[in-house]
Structure formats: C-alpha cells, structure tokens
Amino acid sequence: MKKVCGGVVAAVIGVVLFGAVGVAQAQQFFGSIFTTKSDGTLVNQNVFDLRSDVYLNGGPQNANSNGLPDGTYYYQVTDPNGADLLSTDPAVCRQVTVLSGVVHGATGPCPHANGSTNPTTGAIPVQLVPFDFTTNGGGEYKVWLIRQTADTSIDPNDDTVLLFKRSDAKTDNFKVKETGSCTTNCELPPGSQITGVKFYDADVDGVFDPNEVGIAGWKIELFGTQVSNTTSVQTDQAGSYAFLGLDPGSYGVCEVLPQNAPVWVPTTPTSINGILVPPDATEQNFGNVCLGAGGGLTLGFWHNKNGQALLTKSDLCTLTGMFLRNANGSDFDPVASASCPNPNNNVFNNGKAALSKWLIGASATNMANMLSAQLATMKLNVLHGFVSGGANIFAGAAPTGCTVPGLSGTGFISINALITAANTDSNHALDSDPNTVAAGQARSCQEFMKNALDNANNNLNFVQSSPCAVNYSGTEDSCAPILILQ
C-alpha cells in the first residue's frame, strides 16, 4: 500500500503481476551506481545540501570495475529502508539510458534534467528530483536503478509505483541536509506541470475523440520566461507528453513537424502560448493526420484502354449531366443528353472515344477545361468504387475571393464535397465560369480545386485512417519562438 505522507509501499520490492514493460534478457547484473553532483563529481560521504543537487550516476569507477549492462532502466527514490516511495512523478518519467556501461542521460516522454557529460567516461548523470522529504531522522535516502525486464512493470493502479524483482535492482544511499515538512512537499504543487496528448485526428475535426489514438515518438517543445534553453520531449506509446516541476512563469508548448515522408498536416494549432504556471495544471493536445493514397486513378488511366474498358453507358450519361468544359469554354458532353439513360452502342462507342481524346487533350490555358478533366477523372474513380466519396483530402487554404463549400478552416474537404463545389457550388464553379483564360479570382479558385483533385487522382493528399510512421530527419528547426528572456 502506498502512502502520500508516510507509510509502506509494498510494491516497491514486489514481484511483477502485470504485463512487462521491457524485454531485456536475464543476465548477471554487474556494475555499480552512485550519486554525484550535476557535473559528475563525487560528494564527500554522499551528503548533499539540497535535494536538487543529487544526480544519479553509474558505471565503472576504475579500470578493474564492471560497467552496467547497456539498456533502458527505471529509477526511484525511497526512504533508506526501501519501504516508502518518495519519488512523486510518474514512473514513465523516471527512465535512464546506459550506454557503453555508464549512465548516459534521461529518456522517456517526460525526462528529468541531465547533468554535464564526463569527458573521460562519457557518463551523463540524471537529476533525481522531484521526490519527497524522507522521514529518516538523519536525512537519509535510497536511490534504485531498476532494469526493464519481463518482470518489470508500472502498477496499473498508481503510475508512480514500479513492480519488479529485487534481483533486477541496484541501490545506493545518500543524505540531504535540506529538511522540510511532508505536508508541504509530498507532491508536485498544482500548476507545476504541462501535459497533453499528440493524437491522430482521423475525422480532422480538431477534437481528441475517445476512439482516436495517440501518436508515439512526436517531438514537443517547451518555451517561456523560465526556460533559458528550449526543452524537448518525445511522446510515449500513448502519445502523451509531460513537462513537470515547472517554476512559476509564462510558458508555451509547440510541436515539431517531421520533414521526412510521409506528409503530416496539423488539425489544431501547432503552438500554444501564454500558459500560466501556477495556478492550474494544464493539458494541451495537438492533432495531426498523415497523407497518402486513397485509391485514385489518373486522367491517363481513364484515357487509355484499361480505363476505357471499364466505362459504362451510365458513366457517360453522368458526365454529360455535369458542367464539363471544352478548351473554348463550351459544354463537353460525351453523349447527347437526349440519348440517356441508355444510349445505343454506336453513340456509346463514339462517346468513349470522345472522352479519351478530351481527357488527354485538356489544357490549363482555360483553367475551366483542366479542372473539368480532373473532375471527370475523380467522378469516374468514385463511380467505380476506387475512391470513397466520403474520404477526406487535404486541399489547403483557398485563395482570396474563393469560397469552397465543405472546405474546413484547416484545409480539409471530402471528395463528394469537392466534386459538388467544382461543378456547381463554389462561387467560381464550372457552371458559372466556363472560360477562365484571364488571370483573376475565378481562375485562381478553379486552379485551387483542380490542384486538389489532381493530387487526389495521383494519391497524394488522402487522409490516412491510422497513424503513419513518424520519421524525423534530424534537421528540423525548433518550433519555439525566439524569446527575450526577462
């Protein structure tokens, strides 16, 4: 049982009962851990002035010592008997990497601060706060380094508690001169943290819905009046991130968009400013979707023999009923409307040939002509079930003076809505502007819709149903604004 202000945490040295977090293979646990100051220097008799002075370190201290096994570990602070858990933040925030046998800095979605690198060993110590004051009269504490094996997990009922085998842990005791009352130091003060979720906004509505999932491995940055250097974390498997233990001040958080494929598009603001800490803890979520294929077939496909073989009399009658335009702005009707809905075979065959020639001959000289060709192509894709009319695509922002019904404020629109807008519903649709040779709002608006249809026919801009891989190039710029710190 865990207590907030004293008591026993039986799970601290318990045997795991739940699903494993790590998959490290069983091996002899060599190596040592020890506490240091932020620069890695040892402190006489392990006695520190302040809790914030204490850093976790580890690895060989001389040439004959064993290094720690490489991997990812949890750590925690308890009373010297190991009975009372004193670490106050979620266990997922208390992770450290061991590389080449030495402690090599914090990891996880909400990592603790790192100290400076030891130029000789390469060790990077990790700060242990936040943790409560010990009830031990001598100011003594115990730090634990815990391997992530098949026997290690986080208590599902309390995310600060780790369940593990004692044989998977190493410990070291230290003392702190700083003292305080548990009633005022048991937990992080309200408003000392900014948390949130990076979620996959499948319906592109900008709202984190219960059925939507988080995106792992996404970079979130913290900036503000109390941050001298931009702090960055990556979201965990659930898409969660956290910045903990913040000093009072004004902060902002932002998301770093990957530069590598696939293309990611935000559905919510990418930067949130003016978060005041304290009085209240705050949750700031970010929504994104990735773009890709959606079944589109190109203008060239419907022009060639493969597409021609699929055409039906109903297809040609549907196209005849639309406001498709020739290069000179006149109507393009592959069959006479009077012959529909069942034109004879001769009319049908001639109509197929006319459609093929019209598609391949379309030109952007008259933008209405080129828009018509891409519109007819997409309509055929929908009629034959290659593309879902309800699928969302990313079109971007419409140009000035262009009103496209169904286009969201973040630039998304369904295929059906775009087909209707291009044909009749926009303020510069084909029914009202058949000849857009001259520059102006009508031509710009038709070009915008043409580009969206063209990209969809080429499988470039469909919103994918689930998250894609997150691939950072390593060359992304910081998303945080340049601040003049006070």
Domain harbouring 106, CATH code: 2.60.40.1930
One domain, residues 331 and 267: no
pLDDT of 486 reads 35
Q: Helix, strand, coil % (nearest 5) of the chain?
A: 20, 25, 55
pLDDT tens, 357-376? 999 999 999 999 999 999 99
User: Among 292, 316, 349, where does a domain finish?
Assistant: 292
Query: Mean pLDDT across the stretch 228-242?
Result: 81
The answer as to whether 388 is a domain residue is yes
pLDDT of 428 reads 95
Instruction: Please tell me the pTM assigned to this model.
Output: 0.62
Q: How confident is the model at residue 232 (pLDDT cuts 50, 70, 90)?
A: confident
pLDDT tens, 389-443? 999 999 999 999 999 999 999 999 999 999 999 999 999 999 999 999 999 999 9
The answer as to whether 470 is a domain residue is no
Do residues 141 and 86 lie in contact, with contact meaning Cβ atoms separated by under 8 Å?
yes
pLDDT of 456 reads 98
Count CB-CB contacts under 10 A for residue 154. Answer: 21
Q: And the tokens for 319? A: 């196209």
Number of domains in the chain: 3
One domain, residues 34 and 162: yes
The answer as to whether 483 is a domain residue is no
Do residues 295 and 388 lie in contact, with contact meaning Cβ atoms separated by under 8 Å?
yes
Q: Which residue range is the domain that position 209 belongs to?
A: 194-292
State whether residue 470 is helix, strand or coil.
coil
One domain, residues 334 and 264: no
H-assigned helices in 47-194: 182-185
Q: And the tokens for 94? A: 């208390």
One domain, residues 42 and 109: yes
One domain, residues 336 and 421: yes
The answer as to whether 1 is a domain residue is no
One domain, residues 448 and 314: yes
Q: How confident is the model at residue 285 (pLDDT cuts 50, 70, 90)?
A: very high
One domain, residues 204 and 139: no
Query: Which of 42-56, 352-366, 443-457 has the weakest average pLDDT?
Result: 42-56
The answer as to whether 132 is a domain residue is yes
H-assigned helices in 321-440: 345-360, 367-383, 415-420
Q: Give the burial string for 37-66 (b: 16+ CB within 10 Å, else e).
A: bbebeebeebebeebbbbbbbbbbeeeeee
Residue 211 has pLDDT above 80, yes or no: yes
Nearest-5° Cα angle at 30, 29 to 36: 110
* C-alpha to C-alpha distance for 13 and 248, rounded to whole angstroms: 36
* C-alpha to C-alpha distance for 450 and 32, rounded to whole angstroms: 65
Residue 140 has pLDDT above 90, yes or no: no
One domain, residues 179 and 235: no
User: Among 292, 313, 347, where does a domain finish?
Assistant: 292
The answer as to whether 473 is a domain residue is no
One domain, residues 177 and 311: no
pLDDT tens, 111-137? 898 888 888 888 999 999 999 888 887
Residue 13 has pLDDT above 70, yes or no: no
Q: 369 to each of 168, 187, 192, 320, 416, how far by Cα in Å?
A: 71, 67, 59, 15, 20
Q: How confident is the model at residue 66 (pLDDT cuts 50, 70, 90)?
A: confident
Query: Mean pLDDT across the stretch 20-29?
Result: 43
Domain harbouring 236, CATH code: 2.60.40.10
One domain, residues 31 and 117: yes
Residue type, 244: L
Cα 21 to its chain centre, rounded Å, is: 21
One domain, residues 123 and 223: no
pLDDT tens, 301-360? 999 999 999 999 999 999 999 999 999 999 999 999 999 999 999 999 999 999 999 999
* C-alpha to C-alpha distance for 436 and 427, rounded to whole angstroms: 13
